Structure 1
Amino acid sequence: MNAPMQTAKINDTTEQAVRSELLAPRFYRTDYESVGKIDIEPVRHQWDAMMEEYKEDRNRGHFRQEFDYDATTLTSDPELHEEFIDFLTSSITAEYSGCVLYQEIKKNIDNPEIADLMGYMARDESRHAGFINKALKQLGVAVDLGFLKRQKEYTFFRPKFIYYATYLSEKIGYARYITIYRHLEKHPEQRFHPIFNWFMEWCNDEFRHGESFALMMRAQPELLRGHNKLWIRFFILAVYSTMYVRDHNRPKLYEALGMDPTEFDYRVFDITTAITQQVFPLSLNTDDPRLRRGLERLRIISAKVSVAKERGGILGRLKAAGLSASAGLVFARLYCLPMKHHELPEDFRMEPTW
């Protein structure tokens, strides 16, 4: 059991990172023994090439670089300031979640090849989290990562759920970072914070992490067949819909970047869908107007739930519960929409090209 959260001793961003909410990044535990039994021989050639990339560590010095920033650029716009800190806090929680999970897997398995991989990925995620915390520190709101690790509620996921969810998260993270980076290449005047300059190398780390989970799944092809397709369908929809709702809660952030959150999200969906076809035998049809209407409906319901929770009291709780049930029905209808089906390619290791 986690110890009671001592909010009096931590700042607001640490409290936000620790808080367990529906749309917030989670910390995970899993069946480490099962992960340690993965036999990577079916993907040996691709595995060895990937591990050489990890050993080469091209980004060794990238996240050691420093940057100066005048925080008044953000504090002059309180809404942007709040949304940017929310963006960074959510990002650091997700990055550190991966770091902790990979460290725990490495510590609890005897398979040296999987353990080495987990060590490399934990190294990368630790750098990412530390770098985000530099930006938060300059804004006076650094997250206490030690406190976060001790106090955050942990969710148990079966190994295959970890593979599906983390593969999607790493690939969608790549797609988000590269989309923002390419946009700001064309519009440098909208780069309101220097952290965006790091997104190219950063997103390549995310891409490689996704490839690692791709190989682990392709080494266990039963995870991509039969009833497991139903779980893949669920995780694709859950990750996409969570991203859609979360991004639309930050209108000022995307306005400052000169991006429309809806256009951004569907661009990210397109990139992620194109990539994940190397592993997943099915994908969402993000051009389906029923899907688009459903995601928008989930966004509207989420906003109403927030209002009901702020209202508080019995009526507020009842309203929030009813709205949450409505969101569940919308999600169920979206889950039943037709999916696109794919034949898995033989040569499935990819390089980032977007």
Structure 2
Amino acid sequence: MVTTLVNTHTNQLKTKKKEVSKETLLTPRFYTTDFETAATISLKDQETQLQAMLTEMRNDYNRYHFVRDDSFKDASWDHLDKDTREGFIQYLERSCISEFSGFLLFKELSRKIKKSNPLMAEIFHLMARDEARHAGYLNKAMSDFNVTLDLGKITKTRSYTFFPLEWVIYTVYLSEKIGYWRYIIIFHHLQKHPEKKFYPIFDKFESWCQDENRHGDIFNALLRSQPKLWNNWKARLWSRFFLLSVFVTHTLTVHERKKFYLSLGINATDFDKEVIRETNNTSARAFPSILDVEHPEFYPRLKRCSDRNLEIKALKNSNKLGIVKTLNKILLIAGIAGDFFKAFLIKPIDTEALRGDIH
């Protein structure tokens, strides 16, 4: 990771293009989907709601929020220690790639369905606008630390994962909603502890939340417009699977970067639990089933997955023989899979049965 110090009072240091982190199961991915299915999807059950959201998107309430104001000018972050600086750069990189991935997917969806589904085409176009704005803002923030990502190069070199449209709807909904909770929890924490706010981008997180929440609501409407995504046993299984996948990934990545959260005065484990709890509750508005995250086995199993993941990372830097590393890694991965499966078997909460009680 880059450790070069930057003094933004001068232009003596030249910004470098940062090599994007190696793709792993935990890194944000680029997706493609079945565009023909997207072109023919029926929206009649949610058309009124989607039209209202389109009007809101056109108004673009956040158009002036992502501007580098005076708080970014004539400032220096040389005082940040190595762990804080490197952890923050990792945070910015992951967030930038995630936002850029959404931009590419939404842009392509908008282009492919423009003639057959103009309502959703315009919505996707406007969501792509938001994601591009976020990605650019994050990449510019990285330049304050003397590094940026070459997003044009990443577009050409990054591998793309095909997801059926149904999977895209589930995963993007969750991505937007969990993003909302991550940003708003950090924002409210730093409001209470302004002494921990070491960089002005945190002031923008409330506006960011508005975009994430709005995008999630759009995908909520898309999901509820398709009965096959919520009104059968397969939908219940897929809901649980994607919820658990997103939550395990979140637990692993948060604990990998616990030093960054500590620099904000946030306990990584407590933050992880709060984000998962709130995202799970929010998902009850869309999904037919959610997870029982208050079950006494749920968080301990996720924490064991995280502990094993950290052991795997430690193995890479150990002096053990190659074959020993491989065997240990296989055992640790098997342990993660086992806890994932056991967490999946915890009896879920039937949200359709509680639909009238969910707000």
TM-score by length of 1: 0.91
Per-residue CA distance 1:153-186 (angstroms, 9 max, x = gap): 1111111111111100100000110111111111
Per-residue CA distance 1:107-151 (angstroms, 9 max, x = gap): 222311111111011000000000001110111111111011111
Aligned partner of residue 122 in structure 2, secondary structure: helix
1:274 to partner: Cα distance: 2.2
1:12 to partner: Cα distance: 7.3
Aligned equivalent of 2:45: 42
Aligned equivalent of 1:83: 87
Given residue 79 of structure 2, which amino acid in structure 1 is its aligned partner?
A: T
CA distance in 2, matches of 1:286, 1:187: 28
Tell me, yes or no, if the aligned pair for 2:174 and 2:243 is still in contact at 8 Å.
yes
**Alpha-carbon spacing, 1:188–1:118, altered in 2? closer, same or farther (3 Å):** same
| Equivalent of residue 317 in structure 1, options 322, 326, 334 | 326
**Alpha-carbon spacing, 1:53–1:347, altered in 2? closer, same or farther (3 Å):** farther
Tell me, yes or no, if the aligned pair for 2:139 and 2:149 is still in contact at 8 Å.
yes
CA distance in 2, matches of 1:239, 1:13: 27
More displaced, 264-273 or 314-323? 314-323
Aligned partner of residue 28 in structure 1, secondary structure: strand
Q: Does 1:265 align with 2:272?
A: yes
Given residue 341 of structure 1, which amino acid in structure 2 is its aligned partner?
A: D
Structure 2: tracts of 5 or more residues without a match: 1-14
1:270 to partner: Cα distance: 2.2
Given residue 118 of structure 1, which amino acid in structure 2 is its aligned partner?
A: F
Aligned partner of residue 238 in structure 1, secondary structure: helix
Aligned equivalent of 2:99: 95
More displaced, 58-67 or 333-342? 58-67
Aligned partner of residue 205 in structure 1, secondary structure: helix
Structure 1: tracts of 5 or more residues without a match: 1-9
The 5 A counterparts of 1:1-354 are 13-16=18-21, 19-66=22-69, 67-68=72-73, 69-74=75-80, 77-109=81-113, 110-224=116-230, 225-311=232-318, 313-343=322-352, 345=355
Per-residue CA distance 1:183-219 (angstroms, 9 max, x = gap): 1111111111111000001011000000111011111
Tell me, yes or no, if the aligned pair for 2:252 and 2:306 is still in contact at 8 Å.
yes
Aligned partner of residue 73 in structure 1, secondary structure: coil
Tell me, yes or no, if the aligned pair for 1:23 and 1:246 is still in contact at 8 Å.
yes
Aligned partner of residue 227 in structure 1, secondary structure: helix
Tell me, yes or no, if the aligned pair for 2:243 and 2:280 is still in contact at 8 Å.
no
1:11 to partner: Cα distance: 6.0
In the alignment of these two chains, the number of paired residues is 336
Tell me, yes or no, if the aligned pair for 1:309 and 1:320 is still in contact at 8 Å.
no
1:14 to partner: Cα distance: 3.2
TM-score by length of 2: 0.89
1:345 to partner: Cα distance: 4.1
Tell me, yes or no, if the aligned pair for 2:312 and 2:332 is still in contact at 8 Å.
yes
Per-residue CA distance 1:259-296 (angstroms, 9 max, x = gap): 11111112112221221111112111222120111011
CA distance in 2, matches of 1:119, 1:15: 26
CA distance in 2, matches of 1:93, 1:137: 15
CA distance in 1, matches of 2:143, 2:235: 43
Given residue 322 of structure 1, which amino acid in structure 2 is its aligned partner?
A: L
CA distance in 2, matches of 1:211, 1:347: 19
CA distance in 2, matches of 1:134, 1:12: 12
Tell me, yes or no, if the aligned pair for 1:233 and 1:335 is still in contact at 8 Å.
yes
Given residue 323 of structure 1, which amino acid in structure 2 is its aligned partner?
A: L
Counting aligned pairs with the same residue, the percent is 38
Tell me, yes or no, if the aligned pair for 1:309 and 1:317 is still in contact at 8 Å.
no
CA distance in 2, matches of 1:294, 1:25: 23
CA distance in 2, matches of 1:142, 1:151: 16
Aligned equivalent of 2:4: none
CA distance in 2, matches of 1:275, 1:228: 17
Aligned partner of residue 142 in structure 1, secondary structure: strand
1:346 to partner: Cα distance: 7.3
Aligned partner of residue 43 in structure 1, secondary structure: helix
Tell me, yes or no, if the aligned pair for 1:308 and 1:317 is still in contact at 8 Å.
no
CA distance in 1, matches of 2:242, 2:91: 22
Aligned partner of residue 285 in structure 1, secondary structure: coil
**Alpha-carbon spacing, 1:234–1:13, altered in 2? closer, same or farther (3 Å):** farther
Aligned partner of residue 31 in structure 2, secondary structure: strand
1:317 to partner: Cα distance: 2.5
Tell me, yes or no, if the aligned pair for 1:30 and 1:158 is still in contact at 8 Å.
yes
Aligned equivalent of 2:7: none
Tell me, yes or no, if the aligned pair for 1:277 and 1:283 is still in contact at 8 Å.
yes
Given residue 24 of structure 1, which amino acid in structure 2 is its aligned partner?
A: T
